[in-house]
A = this chain, B = another copy of it.
């Protein structure tokens, strides 16, 4: 059952991403949120805000905690965020050690940190694909690079160039996107820890100690500020996602055009069939790259609107992020995977 193409029984074959999707499951999210709570318990003990025994008991309890998802769903409808009820259930589960659960933290610390923890493997997947695509480009250049190709401007034949010229135009922005990712990463991959209004008011001068342990347990940087109200890290990342799928959309568009019957500038082994015309060989993967690019080019607008995040926490803006960002990540992942498959299916390039 799915209004979303990303986890739809058959449309996800075209538009989903099986490698990335799991990171956005409730299970994976909850697991990361519990990881945060465990790390926090240990941090509270380090800061002598709870005893080591209670902290250890809490982390042990957290390990075998399974929340009641139906209750979480109803509670999320009421509270706008899953954490209050997750913490309530967790505290009940922890019994005597409940004092080590969530003390000093707030919902946003848990939700945002969980997201960032899951972005690590997502970025690795995206990066790996980007790098493997660069290799494929080199293989294509080696194989077809010197063949002639009509250069085209404003949708008219212009002057001849080579296949290598065209491929270089496809490849160069992708290389730059790797550079950009390196710049973005340290800004993006920051834990969130601020407490109720971002001031860690409950921790007083112990905040640094707790934060230190959080960082160690979660292998994640935590600066001495937080980003409750500044979402530019996530927006910058979204920009990167959409620039990436946009650069790939250009390749898709070019391949769709090269593949027109009258052009015969490319030969693809992986094409789609038609229900009405057996002779059709549709450049489905290349078309899909254009859809994905335009999808992200639309979503990016919502992400920029989330920057208007009022006061110390905006329910309205934060919720909008949840609706958009995971979709952008999956879309970009699919875009990379589909490009890789498309490039690998090129039998001939140039004319």
Residues of A within 8 A of B (CB): 1-15, 20-22, 24-27, 69, 72-84, 87, 102, 105-107, 110, 151-159, 161, 165, 168-169, 172-173, 176-177, 180, 183, 187, 195-199, 201, 225, 228-230, 232, 235-236, 239, 242-243, 246-247, 249-250, 252-254, 256-257, 259-263, 270-277, 280-284, 287-288, 290-291, 293-302, 304-305, 307-317, 319-320, 322-324, 326-327, 329-330
Contacts and interface: CB of A to CB of B under 8 A. Distances in A.
B327 A308 contact: no
A155 to B, nearest CB: 5
A151 B197 contact: yes
Contacts of A309: 250
B307 A247 contact: yes
B310 A304 contact: no
B10 A26 contact: yes
A267 to B, nearest CB: 13
6 contacts: A155-B315, A158-B280, A158-B312, A176-B232, A232-B243, A252-B316
A276 B14 contact: no
Contacts of A87: 275
Contacts of A329: 3
A88 B323 CA distance: 36
B152 A69 contact: no
A307 B243 contact: yes
Contacts of A228: 169
Nearest to A333: B3
A200 to B, nearest CB: 11
A126 B179 CA distance: 25
Given A1-B27, A73-B13, A161-B198, A319 B287 contact: yes
A175 B247 CA distance: 29
Contacts of A10: 26, 69, 72-73, 75-76, 82
Contacts of A5: 322-323, 326
A283 B154 contact: yes
